[in-house]
Amino acid sequence: MLNQILCEPNLAAISSSITKNWTEQAIECYKLKGNCSECSIKKANYSFDCQMPKVVKALMSINGQPKIN
């Protein structure tokens, strides 16, 4: 199943290791519904394009919704 998900053109560059578990950053992205303008990563002005919305899509397909306290 993971191979099917990661073979989608927009998910092909995502490492399978980051789609095994919901991380704090992935949960933040999930809660923000992928609104990058509110994200802590975006606010830090890193020099890379965030792939977290793609990771969240993969996590949802593999693991379902995160458990949020």
Residue 6 pLDDT level (bands cut at 50, 70, 90): very low
| pTM of the shown model | 0.72
Using CA atoms, how far apart are residues 59 and 18, in angstroms rounded to an integer? 9
- Per residue in 16-51, pLDDT (tens digit) is 888 899 999 999 999 999 888 888 876 666 677 788
What pLDDT does 57 receive?
93
The angle that helices 52-63 and 24-31 make with each other, rounded to 10 degrees, is: 100
- Per residue in 11-25, pLDDT (tens digit) is 556 778 888 999 999
Ordered by start, the domain boundaries in the chain are 2-63
Kindly tell me if the per-residue pLDDT of 59 is higher than 80.
yes
Six-digit token pair at 22?
Answer: 């919901």
